[in-house]
Amino acid sequence: MANITKHATGNLPQWASDALRDLNVNYRRLGGVQKALGLTDKEMQVALLIHQGGHSNKAIALILGNSYRTIEIHRLRIHDALGVANSIQAAIKLERAVVSQERANIEQCASSR
């Protein structure tokens, strides 16, 4: 997976640059979670930003270089894909999927020894 942003990170405030850096790390690491949850690339990026920092639509739009309305639509599609009513439930479901993948990775490493 490539880096997420297409815009110049030098124009972002420091908090947004930090969030984007963390997002790039987590996004590459959690490809299995994305497939398991049935999210598109952009939906996974938005879900991770909600999960990792509780970012607002406006903040996510700034970080990803999208419009506020685009992020609203992605957030609604995430709720539909995950079968949840709100972003808190989505973050909980994402956290459970992340923990499940990390356990599977640990078990795989342990069994390969």
Residue 3 inside a domain? The answer is no
> Residue 27: what pLDDT?
77
Count the domains in the chain. 1
Distance between CA atoms of 89 and 82, rounded to whole angstroms? Answer: 9
52: confidence class by pLDDT, cuts 50, 70, 90: confident
Residue 23 included in any domain: yes
Q: Is residue 93 part of a domain?
A: yes
pLDDT for the residue numbered 2: 45
Say which CATH number the domain at 63 has.
Answer: 1.10.10.10
Coil vs helix vs strand at 27: helix
Residue at 7 is within a domain: no
In a domain, 5, yes or no: no
Is residue 100 domain-resident? yes
- Strand (E) or helix (H) holding 110: helix 87-111
User: Does any domain span residue 39?
Assistant: yes
Residues 6+ apart with CB under 8 A from 3: 24
At 57-71, the pLDDT tens digits run 999 999 999 999 999
Domain hosting residue 64, numbered range: 13-111
Q: Is 43 inside any structural domain?
A: yes
